[in-house]
């Protein structure tokens, strides 16, 4: 990481997925210790740092569609949580330009080191790479226009604590973008009803939800609304929700 230091790429601490899945009793004990409720759902384990090949994703214009729907523009500050090999990180850096900034985070040290080296090779001086924690993104307050979580939300073991700690990092008009598959969490997806419930428990309002086959499922956009609830007031959502079809909003196509 000497070359990364030379370019000022910070290796701090993130959010995302922890490479394993604690059992229900362990998750309940952890929740009691932190004051946040345990997630009433299975947690998927990390099986790969990539969802698909970059060539296949570019043929479908996946990143371009997601960035367009998320309203990502030059000059914005964006976080890429669970960045993996950097498919979105690189394209976000190109989209926001020299006046923008991208913070890419992952919790696997080897992955984040490889990503830092890639950022150096591609000369993206507007990208910072950070190593982080599973339940706390540790992002600076009031700093981000957009926060992306692509094919990783189902790997967050403590979603209530994670989303609670994420809220202060958003600017007043900031949004959180989730791209995931429409299937149970143990099968590496998140049912839309469950996603909406978990976000609502932390005071996030749904802005839009639409099918997105090019990204393997759907894209959901949220904004923070009202006061952030105290940890002890948060109620866990029941995981009984099955994967259900995402309704197409009026005037929308299937992308």
Give yes or no for residue 25 having a pLDDT over 90.
no
Structure confidence by residue, pLDDT tens digits, 138-148: 899 999 999 99
Strand order in the sheet with 170-180: 127-131, 101-106, 77-81, 144-150, 170-180, 217-224, 204-212
Superfamily of domain 54-237: Vaccinia Virus protein VP39 (3.40.50.150)
Give yes or no for residue 249 having a pLDDT over 60.
no
Greatest mean pLDDT among 58-62, 150-154, 175-179 lies in 175-179
Give yes or no for residue 15 having a pLDDT over 90.
no
Lowest mean pLDDT, pick from 33-37, 39-43, 230-234: 33-37
Higher pLDDT pick, 13 / 45: 45
Structure confidence by residue, pLDDT tens digits, 221-240: 999 999 999 999 999 998 75
Give yes or no for residue 4 having a pLDDT over 50.
no
Structure confidence by residue, pLDDT tens digits, 178-209: 999 999 998 889 999 999 999 999 999 999 99
Lowest mean pLDDT, pick from 7-16, 99-108, 129-138: 7-16
Catalogue the long-range contacts made by 189-194 (C-beta closer than 8 Å, 24 or more residues apart).
Answer: 189/154, 189/217, 189/243, 190/153, 190/154, 191/241, 191/242, 191/243, 191/244, 192/218, 192/220, 192/244, 192/246, 193/241, 193/244, 194/41, 194/237, 194/239, 194/241
The reported pTM is 0.81
* 16 pLDDT tier (thresholds 50, 70, 90): very low
**What are the domain boundaries of the chain?**
54-237
């Amino acid at each position: 990481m000497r070359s990364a230091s030379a370019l000022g790429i910070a290796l701090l601490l993130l959010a995302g997925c922890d490479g394993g899945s604690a059992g229900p009793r362990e998750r309940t004990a952890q929740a009691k210790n932190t004051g946040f409720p345990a997630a009433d759902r299975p947690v998927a384990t990390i099986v790969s740092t990539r969802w698909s090949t970059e060539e296949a994703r570019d043929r479908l214009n996946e990143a371009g569609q997601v960035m367009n729907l998320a309203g990502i523009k030059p000059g914005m500050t964006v976080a890429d949580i669970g960045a993996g090999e950097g498919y979105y990180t690189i394209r976000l850096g190109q989209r926001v330009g020299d006046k923008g900034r991208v913070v890419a985070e992952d919790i696997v040290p080897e992955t984040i080191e490889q990503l830092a080296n890639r950022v150096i090779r591609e000369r993206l001086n507007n990208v910072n790479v950070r190593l982080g924690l599973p339940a706390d993104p540790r992002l600076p307050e009031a700093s981000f226009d957009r926060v992306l979580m692509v094919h990783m939300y189902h790997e967050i073991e403590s979603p209530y604590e994670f989303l609670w700690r994420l809220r202060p990092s958003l600017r007043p008009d900031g949004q959180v973008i989730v791209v995931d598959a429409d299937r149970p969490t143990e099968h590496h997806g998140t049912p839309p009803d469950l996603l909406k419930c978990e976000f609502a428990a932390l005071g996030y309002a749904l802005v839009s939800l639409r099918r997105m086959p090019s990204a393997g499922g759907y894209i959901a956009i949220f904004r923070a609304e009202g006061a952030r609830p105290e940890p002890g007031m948060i109620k866990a959502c029941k995981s009984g929700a099955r994967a259900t079809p995402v309704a197409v909003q009026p005037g929308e196509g299937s992308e």
